[in-house]
A and B are shown apart, each in its own frame.
Chain A
Amino acid sequence: MAMYGPESALSEEAAAPRCLAAADLEQLFRALRERGLRVLGPTVRDQAVVLAELTSAAELPRGVGDVQAPGSYRLRERGDGAYFGFNAGPHTFKQHLFPAREPLLTIRRRDRAQVVEPAPLPRERWALLGVKACDLAAIDVQDRVFTPTADAGFTDPRYQARREHAFLIVTECTQAAATCFCVSMGTGPAARGGFDLALTEVLTDAAHFFLCRAGSPAGAELLAALPTTPADSAQLHSAAAAVAPAARQQRAIDTGGIKEALYAAVNHPRWEDVATRCLSCSNCTLVCPTCFCSATQDSADLAATQAERTRRWDSCFNLDHSYLHGGPVRGAVAARYRQWLTHKLASWIDQFGTSGCVGCGRCITFCPVGIDITKECAALRTPTAQATP
């Protein structure tokens, strides 16, 4: 399957928005299955909206919403039949593109020689369903890490393979959680491009349909196989109205000059302050859709004839992340929190050309002590007498 391309690669007809009745959502699953794609999408499990393999629209979290706050995540009954009426949950699509556990190599010893077998490149094709605008931005952020341009760095071949075999289906948010701040990060709530298909759910007393936009030739081809009608102006208007509430957000990060401001805050007393609250539990890095730190794990069988190397997620909050010459470089929690936040909001810009944060708010919701990155950032941007670099 070709990677998605810009909308301008599509003909006017292919790019024109179309409407799919909510009752026909199952057809989307059928069409994906016919094309040999497995579906990774949202479903309710263990009192959360998580990502799992789906085989039918019936498995979607219909009528489910969530209430989020710092350190708090609860599902709620919406009282309607919306399929995608929830915000960011604890899972992100990085679990698929950048798995928590990735076998890399098998090494076999034969006499005194070693034979290296790289793990095969993934070949399965997956549709990622329910990609929010923030998730889409996060995928782009990780693309820059793992599949940079040739002279900017190395490409991870497995990430690249999964990325090429991923069919991205965006579902636009119709409400914001209290912890969302994608507007201030410039990543949402509207999805502008880089998807194969985008769905905007419109649910009113009168109608329940999805406005569908193709974002690539593959998306257009799939859309053409669904029972859709061309969207009229009223429907376009309804879709815009459906997304509007998502832009009303309670939180924001001031990104103007943020890199310089955070670099200058290296000795800010706020780091010690947040360290009195932060448990360095690494929840934030686990739920963050852009965090990419990993560690390698090597093991051998008892006979020492076969060894495996696996790549696993790691976190800069782990004490041994910065281990060097007998001890950690960043021993204090304050230093580790400083590393995480400064990297996410500042250094990332120098490294990859964008912020590392997409404003999904997951780190705020899933922090057990409710540390709020937007509040910490605001405090760090406030100069104090003690904060001389």
Chain B
Amino acid sequence: MSRPPLPTAAVPATPEPPAARDPWTPTPYQVARVRRDTADTFTLWLRPQDGGPAMAFLPGQFNMLYAFGVGEAAISVSGDAHRREVLQHTIRNVGSVTGQLARLGRGDSLLVRGPFGRPWPIAELSGRDVVVVAGGIGLAPLRPVLLHLLRHRRQYGRVALVYGARTPADLLFAPDLARLAQRGGVQVEVTVDHADGDWHGDVGLVTGLLGRLKLAPERTAALVCGPEIMMHYVRLELGKRGVADSQIYLTMERNMKCAIGHCGHCQLGPKFICKDGPVFTFAELSGLFGRKEL
């Protein structure tokens, strides 16, 4: 059964390469708003210190956020790529840099360098069924592409979001999930690793939820973000359902210092996560993903 070809989904404007003159130089931003999301995760809304629109970015890209005197951390943009008033980042407090960022309040200054990285393949998704699988903080880098899918819903076929977190208290972006399910025509399935007795949702692995999706594998593209072991199991499960490695996109993480392919830290085999990625297909990472201590 064939469908008439759908017009290519509009993508946000391609951003200018960061500081072409000196990619090490960050831009000062100011915190417009802070929201505490969970016990260890928070969201910052940033505006350029000198006024003007926030940087353009593509869904899946990241910035280097600088904590004064401490260092930089690579954080994906979690906001709407079509909107330029603010720059949004959702950050998990796990170390010295993110710990400092967690102490920022409204009006504080923050240096931002970016955007960097290969984004989610928005153009390639046009006209297809899209399965988005997120684990934990992994929902944050996927949020911009979900917002894009919502904005241009008719350009895509079936869209599903499968999201797993540690406990109900760790679930992010609850209003967005509701909007996707109720107004976005998106099948939203949520699960946690364990819960108190008053949680009436699912408890178990995201791979279990994949069984609830009706998949037409030849038409399906999957976008996956979460801990590596979770992405590993998701790929196996999608593979069992007939989705090819070349159609499953993931976002990889490695130690990053420069984000410009010069410091050597983020290498996975010959790939620089910061510039060849962080978005890859499993096919591109064949022989690299899951390789012990590579």
Contact = CB atoms under 8 A, between A and B. Distances in A.
Contacts of A157: 21-22
A229 interface: no
A145 B262 CA distance: 7
Given A114-B111, A347-B269, A323 B260 contact: no
B63 interface: no
B257 A294 contact: yes
Interface stretch (B124-132, B149-157, B212-220, B286-294): B286-294
B262 A114 contact: no
Interface string A93-120: 0000000000011010100111110100
B22 A304 contact: no
- For the complex, would chain B's binding face be called helix, strand, loop or mixed by DSSP majority? loop
B99 interface: no
Interface in A72-110: 104-105, 107, 109
A52 interface: no
B255 A322 contact: yes
Contacts of A330: 293-294
A258 to B, nearest CB: 13
A32 to B, nearest CB: 30
A112 B107 contact: yes
Centre residue among A298, A314, A325 by max chain B CB count within 10 A: A298
A302 B281 CA distance: 46
B264 A294 contact: yes
Nearest to B27: A116
B245 interface: no
Nearest to A298: B71
B253 A324 contact: yes
Nearest to B110: A114
A309 B97 CA distance: 14
Interface string B27-42: 1101000000000000
B6 interface: no
B28 A293 contact: no
A154 B265 contact: no
A154 B261 contact: yes
Contacts of A156: 23-24, 262
Given A156-B262, A294-B257, A304-B69, A351 B49 contact: no
Contacts of A382: none
A156 B261 CA distance: 10
Interface residues of A, number: 53
Contacts of A113: 28, 30, 49, 109
Contacts of B68: 107, 109, 114, 300, 304, 307
B169 interface: no
B167 interface: no
A112 B107 CA distance: 7
Contacts of B265: 293, 295, 314, 321-322
A116 B28 contact: yes
Contacts of A299: 69
Interface in B55-114: 66, 68-72, 94, 107-111
Nearest to B109: A114
A58 to B, nearest CB: 39
A29 interface: no
A323 B96 CA distance: 13
A218 interface: no
A118 B25 CA distance: 6
Contacts, number: 130
B275 interface: yes
- For the complex, would chain A's binding face be called helix, strand, loop or mixed by DSSP majority? mixed
A262 to B, nearest CB: 11
B55 to A, nearest CB: 15
Contacts of B258: 294, 296
Contacts of B287: 263, 266, 389
Interface string B202-235: 0000000000000000000000000000000000
A331 B265 CA distance: 14
A324 B25 contact: no
A308 B210 CA distance: 48
Contacts of B94: 325
Contact of B264 (A293, A323, A332): A293
Given A154-B262, A295-B263, A351 B108 contact: no
A309 B66 CA distance: 11
Given A153-B261, A294-B264, A300 B25 contact: no
Contact of B111 (A107, A314, A321, A324): A107
Contacts of B70: 298, 300
A323 B25 contact: no
B287 to A, nearest CB: 7
B259 to A, nearest CB: 9
A281 interface: no
B270 interface: yes
Centre residue among B26, B27, B254, B262 by max chain A CB count within 10 A: B262
A220 to B, nearest CB: 32
A309 to B, nearest CB: 8
B105 to A, nearest CB: 10
Going nearest first, the 7 A-B pairs with the smallest beta carbon separation are A300-B69, A293-B264, A335-B293, A347-B270, A350-B270, A154-B260, A307-B69
Given A300-B68, A304-B68, 7 more contacts: A112-B30, A154-B260, A293-B264, A321-B255, A335-B292, A339-B267, A389-B287
22 contacts: A113-B28, A113-B109, A114-B109, A115-B28, A118-B24, A145-B262, A154-B260, A293-B263, A294-B263, A296-B257, A296-B258, A296-B263, A298-B69, A298-B71, A300-B69, A314-B265, A324-B254, A325-B253, A329-B293, A331-B293, A342-B269, A350-B270
